[in-house]
Structure 1
């Protein structure tokens, strides 16, 4: 590979960090929403349900575009095997660390909270395995998907890199948001058809945790990951997303309205999930423009405070989930107001997560385990490289 020194994309760093940190209000609002979760408040809140739905409808699609962008950027910087090793270590080591230190204690706590620990012995071996997959991978699923996408990138990115530059009549030079919308509409329909086919042939497969995380999620987010890589390779595509589009903003608002209608009136056995996949595929694309354009205008600068949260975002995301469930199980029942509970939850989870982040910075082994990066003795506690 050729060594490519690209200018730091401060706004993309910031967006990636804030999208990850947005997982905190997302999961806390889930407690107070009308959606059934591990823990719920006594009565749902309409505005927190709406807030939760909005975040869920686009956050991870935009995140995977940014992941694809930076992955391809680093692909051009490192030799092939080193690139794969570095990328997999950066996500695989924190994921493997979080399972015994975070999601396993979280699983045991939920067994106690729900009173289901006594029923464990009555489950079949497959039921035990599947329960453990769902609960131990839990909010770490995107790290597993990133490992799979990175592995697929060994072939796909190599293909991108071997393409010779073509004249302006090239397909990518003539790509517009309208054409991209049509492509993503087709991708959404194909994904929906795939899911419906599996549902018709063997429905239990869709309840298998590993199949959902490793296959279904990977298939859904692969187009966004590749779109990010193409945005790095083709400046015109990147410019298309960083330039504000009123059409994208309006289309995203309409898509969100359709998403809410589908959530309220759809039926799980009658195309609810298939319709949702088409809507979120398109909304995700349009929100890439909305988020990138706003970020490029408001966040494209270097700041020590922003850099701190960029470096802290993965650790905070990893630890916030068990903290949120602890809050929902033991503190939420004592707060009558949903809004007050939501605000209290944010303070509780973010405050403890920041304390834990600062503590882990002072232990070299923990810094390595939660970042996947070799630790240099000379490096300051809060200035880890953020590739």
Structure 2
């Protein structure tokens, strides 16, 4: 087992932080988009709808590649049981903290001030349970998926680490290319789509169940990205492929985004909307790994105290931004008639308050532990890099 601590991957830290922080413009633009949300402006904005769609089409796929990369790196550094404990604490404690402190108050906010919850008083027991799951997990879904993927990683990473030991020739993936990766992801998309279609045919009620969607369907969707990131750590040829710009990935991403827009506007949920969406977003996410990694490696691969601060702050900012965005949408959006102005005022409102709250929480050891999952002695300074 390797215990050597590698050189810091500054560009991956930066990308991870920026992808996390993109959650704020994503949800703020959702208010002003043509998509129905808990809160919407009086009239939708075309450019903010397009902007929202673009962020949604690739952001989390790239994020899970980076998560898999760093997770496998840490897996090699610790004993497996120690690794599982550390990773689940880092992800699970902030998730469990955010439910009573953030998403539960948010639930009552939505129930009282928006029609998002529905007629709660007339819900049956299961309907109330399911509504609570959808709204309490809410934007915390990716933390739940990370906990599940981390747990699965005990087995999957062991196979990845030990694979090939009994073979006379080891695969180094030097012959891997974007065509082969694309075909493999198309194959996975067909498997995922087939699973969803079978559920739709035989147990359609499951597709409206919050826990099933988050714990099963979302986990399955992001599993190949998570494992691809882990493989990029183990096999330098895969990482090199990601870091060498291929113009066809940019062309493919552009075409996939156009297909994504057309599918969202002209397909229906009863038809093949979700299955087509899976093929498109899996491929766009894969190709955008190359686009984002090459740009990040070129522009962001250096140490910066500002980036270190953002890396440390990004999870907390993401956790608190959602109720702040809803507060802005409910009480301030109606007072600003211009959508573009409202969007940028909203960004200033949410970012400003979120960073103030982040600085306050740094000075309260209990909150710092609850929102980072680190013991007090492991979170000594806001300038200390996040592992």
**In structure 2, what is the equivalent of residue 106 of structure 1?**
106
Structure 1 residue 4, shift from structure 2 partner: 3.0
Secondary structure of 1:244's match?
Answer: coil
State yes or no: 1:63 paired with 2:46: no
Residue 54 to residue 75, structure 1, CA distance change in 2 (3 Å):
same
Moved more, 91-100 or 113-122: 113-122
State yes or no: 1:80 paired with 2:80: yes
Structure 1 residue 379, shift from structure 2 partner: 2.1
Structure 1 residue 174, shift from structure 2 partner: 1.8
Runs of 4+ in 1 over 4 A off after TM superposition: 115-118, 165-169
Flag structure 1 segments of 5+ consecutive residues without an equivalent: none
**In structure 1, what is the equivalent of residue 27 of structure 2?**
27
Q: Distance in 2 between the 1:202 and 1:155 partners?
A: 29
State yes or no: 1:152 paired with 2:142: no
**In structure 2, what is the equivalent of residue 224 of structure 1?**
225
Please give the residue correspondences for 1:86-165 in structure 2 after superposition, counting only pairs within 5 Å: 86-114=86-114, 119-164=119-164
Deviation digits for residues 270-316 of structure 1 (CA, Å, limit 9, x no counterpart): 10111000000000000000000000000000000110001000000
Secondary structure of 1:76's match?
Answer: helix
Deviation digits for residues 82-118 of structure 1 (CA, Å, limit 9, x no counterpart): 0000000000000000000000000000111126889
* Count of equivalent residues: 386
**In structure 1, what is the equivalent of residue 248 of structure 2?**
247
Q: Please, what TM-score do these two structures have when normalized by structure 1? A: 0.97
**In structure 2, what is the equivalent of residue 2 of structure 1?**
2
Q: Distance in 2 between the 1:68 and 1:228 partners?
A: 4
RMSD: 1.5
State yes or no: 1:179 paired with 2:180: yes
Structure 1 residue 354, shift from structure 2 partner: 0.4
Moved more, 107-116 or 233-242: 107-116
Q: Please, what TM-score do these two structures have when normalized by structure 2? A: 0.97
Q: Is the 8 A contact 1:27 1:324 kept in 2?
A: yes
Q: Distance in 2 between the 1:18 and 1:309 partners?
A: 8
State yes or no: 1:214 paired with 2:215: yes
**In structure 1, what is the equivalent of residue 294 of structure 2?**
293
Deviation digits for residues 238-288 of structure 1 (CA, Å, limit 9, x no counterpart): 010011110100010000010011011111111011100000000000000
Residue 377 to residue 289, structure 1, CA distance change in 2 (3 Å):
closer
Structure 1 residue 121, shift from structure 2 partner: 2.8
Deviation digits for residues 140-194 of structure 1 (CA, Å, limit 9, x no counterpart): 0000000000000000000111124678883723211110000001111111111
**In structure 2, what is the equivalent of residue 14 of structure 1?**
14
Moved more, 114-123 or 339-348: 114-123
Structure 1 residue 5, shift from structure 2 partner: 1.5
Residue 70 to residue 122, structure 1, CA distance change in 2 (3 Å):
same
**In structure 2, what is the equivalent of residue 346 of structure 1?**
347
Deviation digits for residues 35-92 of structure 1 (CA, Å, limit 9, x no counterpart): 0001000010000000000000000000000000000000000011100000000000
**In structure 1, what is the equivalent of residue 52 of structure 2?**
52
Residue 181 to residue 117, structure 1, CA distance change in 2 (3 Å):
closer
Q: Distance in 2 between the 1:181 and 1:118 partners?
A: 41
Q: Is the 8 A contact 1:249 1:287 kept in 2?
A: yes
Q: Is the 8 A contact 1:168 1:174 kept in 2?
A: no
Q: Distance in 1 between the 2:246 and 2:118 partners?
A: 55
Structure 1 residue 225, shift from structure 2 partner: 0.1
Residue 67 to residue 310, structure 1, CA distance change in 2 (3 Å):
same
Q: Distance in 1 between the 2:102 and 2:64 partners?
A: 24
Q: Is the 8 A contact 1:199 1:206 kept in 2?
A: yes
Deviation digits for residues 188-235 of structure 1 (CA, Å, limit 9, x no counterpart): 111111111111111110000000000000000000000000000000
Secondary structure of 1:376's match?
Answer: helix
